Amino acid sequence: MVLLVSGHCILPATRRLEFGGRDLTLNLQQLLHKKGYDFVNNSELEIVREMKEKLCYVAFDCEQEVGNARDEKFELPDGNTITIGKERFICLDALFKHIPVFPERIRKGMESFVPRTTKVKVIANQERKSSVWIGGSILGSLSTFQTYWITKQEYKEYGPTIVHRRD
């Protein structure tokens, strides 16, 4: 998390969230276990990771999406198939859960960095859980951003290092 004040990054307040792709894979593994599908060893966990990458998506409104969830089939290496529905987006929702007291924690943290005479006010927008999604949507629609897109063909040709070839 990066704190910005008037467009400037406040480095001492920057925090790294120790949560990522493997945690989401484990989250999907637990959801699949509840449905009776057990993936326990490392090679089976690799199957869950592949399933996550192929079928899972971020729902704009998780609660609304539950009613509209489509089942999708995934073919296992042995030829069997399993079906998952709401698990496809529920496992990723953990990325967007906000801490209810988060604005208060930010305020208290900021107060320790500024002079006591400075009044700290944290404005927690009601739409903050969608802010990253909205920002990405705006960024992606800018004509000036179009030159930064990486095509599937470019990725196949150069692999992950293609990101270092962009200015």
Is 153 within the bounds of a domain? no
In the structure encoding, which two tokens stand for residue 127, read together?
A: 């739409």
pLDDT exceeds 80 at position 66: yes
Give me the long-range contacts of 16-19 (CB less than 8 A, separation at least 24). 19/94, 19/95
pLDDT exceeds 70 at position 19: yes
The per-residue pLDDT for 110 is 82
| CATH code for position 26 | 3.90.640.10
d(CA 58, CA 90): 8
Is 129 within the bounds of a domain? no
- Residue 100, exposed/middle/buried by CB under 10 A (0-12, 13-18, 19+)? exposed
- Which among 135, 102, 104 has a CA at the least distance from the CA of 17? 102
Is 62 within the bounds of a domain? yes
Around 146, how many Cα atoms within 13 Å sit in the side-chain half-sphere? 4
The per-residue pLDDT for 1 is 67
Q: Coil, helix or strand for 33?
A: helix
- Which among 97, 151, 104 has a CA at the least distance from the CA of 124? 104
Is 5 within the bounds of a domain? yes
The per-residue pLDDT for 51 is 96
Q: Coil, helix or strand for 84?
A: strand
Q: What residues make up the domain containing 42?
A: 1-124
pLDDT digits (tens, 9 = 90+) for 69-122: 899 999 999 999 999 999 998 888 877 665 556 677 778 878 888 888 988 888
Q: Quote the number of domains for the chain.
A: 1
Residue 85, amino acid: G
Is 145 within the bounds of a domain? no
Is 83 within the bounds of a domain? yes
Is 130 within the bounds of a domain? no
Mean pLDDT across 26-32: 95
Residue 126, amino acid: Q
**Number of residues that make up the chain:** 167
pLDDT digits (tens, 9 = 90+) for 42-64: 999 999 999 999 999 888 777 77
Task: Please tell me the pTM assigned to this model.
Answer: 0.54
Is 157 within the bounds of a domain? no
- Which among 60, 68, 28, 57 has a CA at the least distance from the CA of 45? 28
